[in-house]
Structures are given as structure tokens and as C-alpha cells.
Amino acid sequence: MQLFFKWYMVSAPIFPESINCTNCGKNIDTEFKVTCPICETQNSVSNIIPKPRPIILWIEKSKWSSDGMTFGIPLSKDIENENFDDNYNQLIEIFHYRLFNSNKKAIPLRAAINQATRVDGTAIIKNGRSIGVIFNETLKSKIDLKLRKWLGFDIDEEGN
């Protein structure tokens, strides 16, 4: 069994896609509704399924049980024409992380802060695999601060 820790880059076997209403743009919980609760627009969700995706594990405790949930920040290779100085994205340069497989080539990545979500711990333990780890402390602090702001935590200028 693999061990997974905070700041590990993991290939998550199942990562839920968020779905936004086609009319008002608000997020819909697709497990229970196909109608937007804000504007009552009908939305087709039949072709949207959970998909594998690389993520950064963002967890507060050093260990978590297999039947629990963790929190993941999805990673994307799409870094062109993007603004990475906003509150919703963070550029991860190749010198910010280390890959565990020496045959793979490191590439710049984008952490999509506003797409972060809970991830099933059981699925990660059974079918996930560690692909790397972020080791740059400054980058970790930036991601942590952006995510906490996005989640609505009260944070002062120093990040407290």
C-alpha cells in the first residue's frame, strides 16, 4: 500500500467534475440535481462523468483513514494565455516539484485553485498512485493562502 501525504502529486482515479448552470453559471451538485437551484434552468448532465486527473493532496493531518475524504487541487498542463497571478490559479514551475518516476519529464503545470474539491480517500488508496511531490516552501505557502481565501477563511495580510 502506498502512503500519501500533503503536497503529494497523485493520479486520482476518480475526480468529480463540477458542472455550472448553462444559464446563470452557478455550480450545481450533479449527484442530486439536474436543475439549477438558482435560476431553475434544466441542465443536461448525462455525458459528464468522474474522470482520472492529477491532483495535489491538500490535507491538514499527517494521516487519514481509507474510508475518509481528503481534499485535492487539480493540476493542468494548460498554461498558455493564462494569468497565474490571480486568486484562482498558481503556476508550478519544473523546479518547484520532483517526479518519482525518473523516466517522466517535468513540465510546468497549473494548479486550479477554484476547482479544488473533496476526493474519496478509499479510491486514492486502492487505485491512486503518487507521481511527485511539491517541495518548494514558497510555492506551498502561495497555494495554501490562495486556497484558504477561496474557501472563505478570514486571512489577514500576513496569511494568518
Domain limits, the chain: 8-19+50-151
The domain 8-19+50-151 having CATH identifier 1.20.200.10: the answer here is no
Distance between first and last Cα of the chain: 36
User: What is the SS3 assignment for 115?
Assistant: helix
Residue type, position 124, single letter: I
pLDDT tens per residue, range 75-108: 988 777 566 668 888 999 999 999 998 888 899 9
Chain-centroid distance, C-alpha 112:
6
What tens digit of pLDDT does each residue of 115-145 get? 888 777 767 777 778 899 999 999 999 999 9
What is the grid cell recorded at 31?
Answer: 449527484
63-67, 73-77, 109-113, 146-150: which has the minimum mean pLDDT?
A: 63-67
- From the centroid of its chain, how far is CA 149? 15
